[in-house]
Amino acid sequence: MNEEQTSLLLHSCSRFPPPKGVRLSYGTAGFREDASILQSTVFRVGILAALRSLKTRSVIGLMITASHNKVSDNGVKIADPNGGMLSQDWEPFADALANAPTPEQFLQLLTDFVKKENIPFDGQQSAEILLGRDTRPSGGSLLEAAKQGISSIIGAVFYDMGIVTSPQLHWMVRARNKGMKATELDYFDQLSSSFRCLIDLIPYGSGISKTVDDILVVDGANGVGGEKLEALKKMLDDLVIDVRNCGKGSGILNEGVGADYVQKEKVIPQEFGSMDVGLRCASLDGDADRLVYFSVPSNVSSYINLVDGDKILSLFAIFIKEQLSILQEAADEKVKAIHHARVGVVQTAYANGASTEYLKQLGLEVVFTPTGVKYLHDKAAQYDIGIYFEANGHGTILFSESFVASLETIKHEPSSASIEQHNAVLRLLAVSKLINQAVGDALSGLLMVEAILRYMGWSIQKWSDLYQDLPSRMLKVKVVDRTAVVTTNAETVVAKPPGIQEAIDAETAKYPQGRSFIRPSGTEDVIRVYAEASSQEGADNLASSVAKLVD
């Protein structure tokens, strides 16, 4: 590192002292804390993003968001060249950088890491970072800190993409690295045109061209997603969307609204009520990477009928499976090969047991990973078509590049496929363009759900009735040190402290269809408890007795 670079770093770093008495950790989705203590962290992540860009010789993303957390929190995460989450082997370095107490120690860490990772750091190579943030009021000043961090690396430049959803930024990074156009308009264009393509491919006369409850009502969590959906819907004729909680009124981000609230509490979000009985409703989270659907039941109650990530996953799986089965009888070898695609479904321990049972009955391969998109995504990427979802509504469908290339070949070359077989191929291709290949995306997921419901001719009720969720309960227990709990087997078994797993097993055995697990949260200082049983009372009791074991 030359002298100019060293003094630039020392100087700028000294203007962003780290908070005292806080241990920062790059958790499941980056750093997340009260926004007031994040200046130095975001500044340092700016530097980290520049290093990552130098190392990978690619465009990198830096997103400032705390997703579904309360409005006073904020956070920062990095998007890797393929649009996915930061490679896990860099996370310990992110932790170390964020926690270095002095500019000198920070510089030492950086110098050692640059050497170890062989990062071209001679001022000759350029680095490029796309910046994005959600609507949080603290976002503007944190973005400044990120810019200062990036600017303290000679040769690094940033492009401010403004207020965007997390998936938009991930999409843009991926697109840029593929040499594609990557503005917000390009994103909207791709989503709306592939949606149109799917609608146009609905066989005439099959299904019904419009579902009975044709209007879709969306809760935008008072965040960025609602605002973007307002813009996107202008490009979608044929789909009537009423967006509420789009952040323009007095409502507060994620307060009594949003996918996290709706999924965890199972209650009607603000601005929804008896006028929505029977309508198809959806909810996005604060940075629009999660999506759940729900309906308001006709009886007077504050509870909703939740259609969660597991059911979105099931709907997607049915559709994909149906397209592949259309190709079963294909005479053309290339088309027949599509039929034999390796399809994998990825879930976490939070997936409702009834959903796993249902997916297995469909004949699908179901695998489990720990919570957090990075784990599910990596697993899903191992298949030709990998469908992953967390129950909380984060998920997508990944298509391998070689599989998409085979679809493209069939699209463009003459084959002996029948029209319906050819259309099935075109539908798969449209899905691969509609559904975000970088990360779970509430906006693209929503269009996908809408297209499939239209194709099937299903109401939300029909979709919801695919299977009955087992009653479940989630609790959280505040603890001094959440890292004391260590889990294994995709978080289904406690390895440490000793004895707890046996006690959980003993409790679980008391309940018909009982299942329970605990895990340290990756985003809060709590241990989470999940329980499932054949009755709601059973699930509640099991959860509270397991919670007592942790306390």
- Residue numbers of the site for ligand 16G (CB under 6 A)? 28-29, 67, 371-373, 390, 392, 394, 521-524, 528
Q: Is 314 annotated as a binding residue?
A: no
Question: Of the two residues 68 and 147, which places its CB atom closer to ligand 16G in the complex?
Answer: 68
Q: Are 422 and 410 in contact (CB under 8 A)?
A: yes
Out of ligand 16G, Zn ion, none, what residue 28 binds, judged by CB under 5 to 8 A for its kind, is ligand 16G
DSSP 222-259: TSHHHHHHHHHHTT-TT--EEEE--SSSSPPTTSS-SH
Q: How many CA atoms lie within 13 A of 188 on its CB side?
A: 16
Question: Of the two residues 326 and 376, which places its CB atom closer to ligand 16G in the complex?
Answer: 376
Please report, for residues 209, 269, 351, 354, the alpha-carbon distance to residue 357 in angstroms, rounded to integers and kept in the order given: 31, 30, 10, 5
Q: Is 521 annotated as a binding residue?
A: yes
Question: Of the two residues 308 and 532, which places its CB atom closer to Zn ion in the complex?
Answer: 308
Residue nearest to Zn ion (CB): 67
Q: How far is the CB of 439 from ligand 16G (least distance, A)?
A: 7
Out of ligand 16G, Zn ion, none, what residue 194 binds, judged by CB under 5 to 8 A for its kind, is none
Q: How far is the CB of 41 from ligand 16G (least distance, A)?
A: 17
HEC profile of 503-520: HHHHHHCCCCCCEEEEEE
Q: How far is the CB of 260 from Zn ion (least distance, A)?
A: 8
Out of Zn ion, ligand 16G, none, what residue 151 binds, judged by CB under 5 to 8 A for its kind, is none
Q: How many CA atoms lie within 13 A of 486 on its CB side?
A: 5
Terminal CA-to-CA distance of the chain, rounded, Å? 50
* Residue 196, amino acid: R
Question: Of the two residues 322 and 524, which places its CB atom closer to ligand 16G in the complex?
Answer: 524
Residue 174 is given by DSSP the state H
Q: How far is the CB of 167 from Zn ion (least distance, A)?
A: 9
Out of Zn ion, ligand 16G, none, what residue 285 binds, judged by CB under 5 to 8 A for its kind, is Zn ion
Catalytic residue numbers? 67
Q: Is 519 annotated as a binding residue?
A: yes
Out of Zn ion, ligand 16G, none, what residue 29 binds, judged by CB under 5 to 8 A for its kind, is ligand 16G
Q: Is 522 annotated as a binding residue?
A: yes
Q: Is 200 annotated as a binding residue?
A: no
SS3 480: coil
* Residue 485, amino acid: V
Rg of the chain over Cα atoms, rounded to whole angstroms, equals 24
Question: Of the two residues 392 and 406, which places its CB atom closer to ligand 16G in the complex?
Answer: 392
Q: Is 213 annotated as a binding residue?
A: no
**Cα–Cα distance for residue pair 431/199, rounded to 1 Å:** 11
Q: Which residues bind Zn ion (CB under 5 A)?
A: 67, 285, 287, 289
Q: How many CA atoms lie within 13 A of 260 on its CB side?
A: 16
**Cα–Cα distance for residue pair 174/167, rounded to 1 Å:** 10
Q: Is 127 annotated as a binding residue?
A: no
Q: How far is the CB of 490 from ligand 16G (least distance, A)?
A: 13
**Annotated binding residues for substrate, as ranges?**
390-392, 519-523, 528
**Annotated binding residues, as ranges?**
67, 285, 287, 289, 390-392, 519-523, 528
**Annotated binding residues for Mg(2+), as ranges?**
67, 285, 287, 289
